Amino acid sequence: MRTSRAALAVTVVTALAAVTACGGGTSTDGGGSNESPKTLTYWASNQGPSVEADKKILTPELKKFEEQTGIKVKLEVIPWSDLLNRILAATTSGQGPDVLNIGNTWSASLQATGALLPWDQKSFDAIGGRDRFVASAVASAGAEGKDPAAVPLYSLAYALYYNKKMFADAGISQPPTTWDQLVADGKKISKDGKWALGAEGGNLANNIHQVFVLGKQHGADFFDSSGKPTFTSDGAVAAVKQYVDFMAKDKIVAPGNAEYAQNQSLQDFARGKTAMVLWQAAASTFAAQGMKPADWGVAPVPVPAGTPGTGQNTNSMVAGINMAVFKNTKNADGAKKFVKFMTSDAEQKLLNKTYGSIPPVKAAQQDPAFSAPDLKVLRDTLATSAAPLPQVPTESQFETAVGTAVKELWADAAAGRPVTTESVKDRLAKAQQQMQQ
């Protein structure tokens, strides 16, 4: 009696589990349907100063789209803290938006799930052709050799922001163009409680962005052509060591930066405590922190020697947001129309201007607004000397493992423990071992 009741309970639970567990991917696998052609749901990432501000910025544009096509777009602006988890949940259940923004570094991982509509030749033609977009931006929308999983929407690159007055006080007339110059200038600046360079030692993504570029400059990628991690190559080790040595050896980064993860380095910059930061588009933040536009200047991120370019003279990763269509959409045609609308020259100019980013659409870049001194640096970097982060499905593992390794190395440097080639290599070897598959 007792056991049979228990057995019954187990059966019921398992049966229920089986009923509910079979995933949500019931909708067609081929590429969405057109069951409800009159509405779209759009998940926008938070690009402006706040979620509410974004809603105010996007709503009139969505109205325009509705007037043109009769399709009503339901907008939800999702904070970055939630976006990836929401997308994961949508992917597992099949219950998601029609169109969504993704961080471009997630592209290859999301592409591997098969949840996003691939952008083949035909789809690209429908929005004006692949050639409309900056090549490096398209390269950041999925693994090489596959149809991109998304279309670039907003682009950014890294630049060197510097405090003009602090440079003048230290007798420096020009921003540095090579790392040797940066270190030399940095040593002049770093005294009396002032420091040359800011870093976000606790921010994994930022760590990755910096060491990725330095890696490129040392001729190293963090993955080989078959997608296997190669974190311990000489170039990768040298890159990580060079970055952490700004604090450990050159002493041009304040020890406190080792724990920064909430953009404190920007606050230090705005308060005149540090003279330089490497950042994506910091203008609005400086303004919010009470710094006048005339007080800071922008220059390309330094390179080992010469001028920024490709290969070993790469000086930025391709940062940005891509726009994707969810495969389970019930309005595939409408979704593509919406992507076309958002990547149209007019919308690209308007939205990127508002958000302080650079349009990945070449024609839109010609707008004079993107020739302002700071944006011009970003635009040129993007066009000539930026490379996408490794487009591998394990990108987020890479970001976590190597980003954490760099974070721990910052902690070592800040505590005065030696940072040597061996210690760097050890950390990176550990990170590599944590990569599964």
Partner 1 sequence: MTTTVTPGRTDRAGSGESVGTKDARGRLPRIPDRIRHGGLPYLLLLPAVVLELLVHLIPMVIGIAMSFRQLTQFYIRNWGQAPWAAFDNYRVAVDFDAPIGRALLHSFYVTCLFSVLAVGLSWLFGVAAAIMMQENFRGRGLLRAVFLTPYALPVYAAVITWAFMFQRDNGLINHVLHDQLGLTDQPSFWLIGDNSFVALVVVAVWKSWPFAFLILMAGLQNIPRELYEAAAIDGAGVWQQIRKITLPSLRPVNQVLVLVLFLWTFNDFNTPYVLFGRAAPEAADLISIHIYQSSFVTWNFGSGSAMSVLLLLFLLLVTAVYLLLTSRGRKTADA
Partner 2 sequence: MPRPPSSPTAPPRSFRWTRRIVLTFLSAFALLPVYVMLSSSLKPLQDVSGKFQWIPSGFTIRPYIDIWDTVPLARYFLNSLVVAGAATVLSVVIAVFAAYAVSRYRFRGRRVFTVTVLSTQMFPGILFLLPLFLIFVNIGNTTGIALYGSRGGLILTYLTFSLPFSIWMLIGYFDSIPRDLDEAAMVDGCGALGALFRIVVPAAVPGIVAVAVYAFMTAWGEVLFASVMTNDTTRTLSVGLQGYATQNDVYWNQVMAASLVVSVPVVAGFLLLQRYLVAGLTAGAVK
Which residues lie below 8 Å from residue 152, measured CB to CB, with a gap of 6+?
104, 133, 134, 137, 138, 140, 141, 320, 321, 322, 323, 343, 360
Listed ranges 168-176, 232-240, 287-295, 383-391: which one lies at the site for partner 2 (CB under 8 A):
287-295
Which residues lie below 8 Å from residue 326, measured CB to CB, with a gap of 6+?
32, 90, 96, 97, 98, 99, 100, 115, 116, 117, 335
Is 118 a residue that touches partner 1 (CB under 8 A)? no
Is 318 a residue that touches partner 2 (CB under 8 A)? no
Among partner 1, partner 2, none, residue 27 binds (CB under 5-8 Å by kind)? none
What is the crossing angle of helices 395-414 and 421-434, to 10°?
150
Is 49 a residue that touches partner 2 (CB under 8 A)? yes
Whether 197 contacts 246, CB under 8 Å: yes
Query: Cβ of residue 112: shortest distance to partner 1, in angstroms?
Result: 5
**Positions of E strands within 272-416:** 274-279, 296-299, 316-317, 319-325, 386-387
Is 93 a residue that touches partner 2 (CB under 8 A)? yes
Instruction: Kindly list the distances between the CA atom of residue 176 and the CA atoms of 108, 199, 205, 267, in Å, as whole numbers in the listed order.
Output: 35, 17, 25, 22
Is 407 a residue that touches partner 1 (CB under 8 A)? yes
* Closer residue to partner 2 (CB): 228 or 271: 271
Is 400 a residue that touches partner 1 (CB under 8 A)? yes
Query: Cβ of residue 198: shortest distance to partner 1, in angstroms?
Result: 12
Query: Cβ of residue 99: shortest distance to partner 2, in angstroms?
Result: 15
Site string for partner 1, 144-183 (x = CB under 8 A): ----------------------------------------
Q: Give the residue, chosen from 198, 202, 334, 388, that forms a contact with partner 1 under the rule CB under 8 A.
A: 202
Element (H, E) at 42: strand 39-45
CA atoms within 13 A of residue 82's CA, in its CB half-sphere: 11
Is 290 a residue that touches partner 1 (CB under 8 A)? no
Among partner 1, partner 2, none, residue 369 binds (CB under 5-8 Å by kind)? none
Among partner 2, partner 1, none, residue 82 binds (CB under 5-8 Å by kind)? partner 2
Among partner 2, partner 1, none, residue 271 binds (CB under 5-8 Å by kind)? partner 2
Q: How far apart are CA 86 and CA 168, in angstroms?
A: 48
Q: How far apart are CA 342 and CA 365, in angstroms?
A: 15
Element (H, E) at 62: helix 51-69
Phi and psi (nearest 5°) for 76? -130, 125
Q: Which of residues 338-367 bind partner 1 (CB under 8 A)?
A: none
Torsion, Cα 37 39 40 46, to 10 degrees, reads 160
Mapping DSSP to helix (H, G, I), strand (E, B) and coil, where does residue 222 land?
Answer: coil
Is 226 a residue that touches partner 1 (CB under 8 A)? no
Tokens of 393: 């499905």
Is 29 a residue that touches partner 2 (CB under 8 A)? no
* Closer residue to partner 2 (CB): 357 or 385: 357
Number of residues in the chain:
437
Residue ranges binding partner 1 (CB under 8 A): 13-14, 16-17, 20-23, 25, 84-85, 88, 91-92, 94, 109-110, 112-115, 201-204, 254-256, 258-259, 261-262, 264, 393-394, 396-397, 400, 403-404, 407-408, 410-411, 414-415, 430, 433-434, 436-437
Residue ranges binding partner 2 (CB under 8 A): 19-21, 23-24, 26, 46, 48-53, 76-82, 85-86, 88-89, 92-95, 262-264, 266-267, 270-271, 281-282, 284-285, 288-290
